[in-house]
Amino acid sequence: MFQTGVLIVFYGLLAQIMAQFGGLPVPLDQALPLTVNPPLPLSPTGLAGSLTNALSNGLLSGGLLGILENLPLLDILKPGGGTSGGLLGGLLGKVTSVIPGLNIIDIKVTDPQLLELGLVQSPDGHRLYVTIPLGINLQVNTPLVGANLLRLAVKLNITAEILAVRDKQGRIHLVLGDCTHSPGSLHISLLDGLGPLPIQGLLDSLTGILNKVLPELVQGKVCPLVNEVLSGLDVTLAHDIANMLIHGLQFVIKV
């Protein structure tokens, strides 16, 4: 009688378990899940790294280097091209005093570069700031064959703000906020120059005008591309990041 009672209790418990899990017994070595919540996104380091990699690859595949190489510097810096007096008008007097008859200065952009992107999250966790460091060389030529006046190295940072918004249907997605050049990030240095010319005077004049026009010129060309890359991010990556930003969760590691 005792054994029969034990068997009745055992089979009763087994029946309840099988009913609960659709009639399928659970293997003894498989632990049951405690929750049914969806899996968490990538780790903070992985999520931030995936974003910077995606943005960097998107900028390059979107033609960033070609955009930099084809900056219309000469057109903008000519007299009447958007600056007071223009670059040519300001420099020509200094150059012609040394080389009579010189009446053209050509500026060519070479060696465009995209350096490593930086990523910072706002203190409230709802915004991201992506630093996009760019580098180009400027070659200032005379109409004389093989005569270079100056070669300059230029570094400039563009900072793009990324926000998460929720549309009328309740879906969240990433959008580009402010996108501008970082104040004080423009650096111009002399790579080499033609010895007999008044290099310092030319460099000072050129640097002064480039400081006024180059940051806004680069910003106007690069920021629309950043917006395109952002809108074309992988759906899962964009959703995970937007979800973190909407809830103000920190996922960018502070360094």
What are φ and ψ of residue 126, in 5° steps? -95, -5
Contacts 24+ apart (CB under 8 A), 182-189: 182/131, 182/156, 182/157, 182/158, 185/133, 185/155, 185/156, 185/157, 186/154, 186/155, 186/156, 186/210, 186/211, 186/214, 186/215, 187/154, 187/155, 187/156, 188/152, 188/153, 188/154, 189/152, 189/153
| Cα(165)–Cα(171) distance, integer angstroms | 8
Identify any residues that bridge with 173 across adjacent strands, giving them in sequence order.
Answer: 165
Domains along the sequence of the chain with CATH: 44-77+102-247 (3.15.10.10)
- pTM comes to 0.74
Give the pLDDT score at 249.
92
Residue 26 has pLDDT above 70, yes or no: no
Encode pLDDT of 140-161 as tens digits.
876 554 556 778 999 999 999 9
| pLDDT of 98 above 80 | no
- By three-state DSSP, how is residue 187 classified? strand
Give DSSP secondary structure letters for 190-235. EEEE-TTS-HHHHHHHHHHHHHHHHHHHHHHHHHHHHHHHHHTS-H
Mean pLDDT of the region 34-60:
74
Which of 34-38, 45-49, 144-148 bottoms out in mean pLDDT, i.e. has the lowest? 34-38
**β-bridge pairing 148-166 and 187-193:** antiparallel
- Whether the per-residue pLDDT at 3 is higher than 50: the answer is yes
* The pLDDT of residue 171 is above 70: yes
Q: Tell me which of 191 and 47 has the higher pLDDT.
A: 47
Cα–Cα distances in angstroms (integers) from residue 112 to residues 71, 81, 134, 202, in the given order: 11, 23, 7, 23
